[in-house]
Amino acid sequence: MKAVVFSESPVFLKMAAAVAQSFGGDVIGISDSENVKFVNKLYIIDKMDEDGIVDLISSLSPDVILTGNVRRDRAIAGRVAGKLKLPIVTDVVSLKVEDKKVTLNRVAYSGMGLVTLESELPIVMTIANTQLQPKELQPTVEKVQLKEGRVKIVGRKSTSSGVNLATADIVIGVGRGIGSKENVKYAEELAKALGGAVGGSRPVAAELNWVPEDRQIGLSGLRIRPKLYIALGISGQPQHIAGIRDSKIIVAVNTDKNAPILENADYLVVGNAIDFCKVMLSKLGKK
């Protein structure tokens, strides 16, 4: 069994390697960093060129190709599958390999469904999340100079705001219902008082830029698992729910007591989100 693992994200690379190790064969890693200690062999690439990475992975003829789940990983996984005409399953939450057959679980329908799938090896998959920890190994290392691809990277602008929602205990999510970019400050103040962080629905983060783009919560953005999630002015689109499903407690604040988010909330406070923030702040201050 030969497994190839790739991710642009160090966290996902580690998770993918942990899954790959569980198959018991050789684990080959591809990364632009030397600091990868959980594979048997490591190819260090000189650039994040997708054409080059797709060619490199394909040339290794793996039984299993595992990538992480960030956007570049997904693009590469889909292309490797297409190039080798292999089956592909993304967002894998658990799997079992027996002989040449693999049974996988993934979420679908914006996180509402858990689907069990079957396929043969070789296969390409992207890993959603795992608690598995990889063993530390001493890989043999080979540096690879990738060829120049057909898509040239000419610029990169960070949207990072220095806040990691994935690890925050308390997250406040803002949606269009908060009214304006200026109003986000009330959510920020409340988050500060609670020791939490502010994120936003896709329209608010990616389209309106009321909150930084790297704090987009949802199916195609971040999937968070805080102790407490407070949704301010978020109606509850399935794509948003997909990102908050693993929260311990979900509070929604909405002027409409019939907002669809109620179905996925523990508490729905009927009211204006700004008033709510102001009152919460004053009460927490009094403590």
Partner 1 sequence: MNIVVGFKIVPDDQMVKVVGDKLNTDAPLKVSTYDKNAIEEAIRLKEKFGGKVTGITVGSNDRKSIREALAMGVDEVIAILVKDPDVYVTAMAIAENVKMLNPDIILFSEMTTDSGTSALPAYVSELLGLPYISNVKSLKIEGNKVTADRGMVSYIETVESSLPLVVSVGGEINTPRIPSVKQIMESSKKPVKEVKFDAQSKVRIREIKPMIVNRKRIVIEESDINKAVDKLIEYLKSDGVI
Footprint of partner 1 on 254-283 (CB under 8 A): 257, 260, 262-272, 275-276, 279-280, 283
Q: Please name which of 5, 43, 45, 44 lies closest in space to residue 22, comparing C-alpha atoms.
A: 5
The answer to the question of residue 117 lying near partner 1 (CB under 8 A) is yes
In angstroms, give the least distance from the CB of 206 to partner 1: 4
The three-class DSSP label of residue 87 is: coil
The answer to the question of residue 187 lying near partner 1 (CB under 8 A) is no
Q: Of the listed pieces 20-28, 137-145, 179-187, 219-227, which binds partner 1 according to CB under 8 A? A: 219-227
CA-based radius of gyration for the chain? 21
CA–CA distance, 22 with 271 (Å, rounded to integer)? 50
Among 26, 32, 51, 189, binds partner 1 (CB under 8 A): 51
- Phi and psi angles of residue 44, each rounded to the nearest 5 degrees, phi first: -95, 115
> Does a cis peptide bond (omega within 30 degrees of 0) precede residue 122?
yes
In angstroms, give the least distance from the CB of 209 to partner 1: 9
In angstroms, give the least distance from the CB of 265 to partner 1: 6
Among 13, 194, 204, 224, binds partner 1 (CB under 8 A): 194
Q: Which two tokens stand for residue 65?
A: 């190709």
In angstroms, give the least distance from the CB of 137 to partner 1: 28
| Residue count, binding to partner 1 (CB under 8 A) | 90
In angstroms, give the least distance from the CB of 149 to partner 1: 8
The answer to the question of residue 213 lying near partner 1 (CB under 8 A) is yes
Among 26, 74, 179, 188, binds partner 1 (CB under 8 A): 74
Q: Can you list the pairs that 202-211 forms with residues at least 24 positions away whose Cβ atoms lie under 8 Å?
A: 202/239, 202/240, 203/175, 203/176, 204/174, 204/175, 204/176, 204/178, 208/176, 208/181, 209/181, 210/174, 210/178, 210/180, 210/181, 210/184, 211/174, 211/184
CA–CA distance, 90 with 104 (Å, rounded to integer)? 10
The answer to the question of residue 47 lying near partner 1 (CB under 8 A) is no
The answer to the question of residue 206 lying near partner 1 (CB under 8 A) is yes
In angstroms, give the least distance from the CB of 278 to partner 1: 9
Residues 1-40 that bind partner 1 (CB under 8 A): none
Bridging pattern class, strands 228-232 and 170-174 = parallel
Among 59, 138, 155, 182, binds partner 1 (CB under 8 A): 155
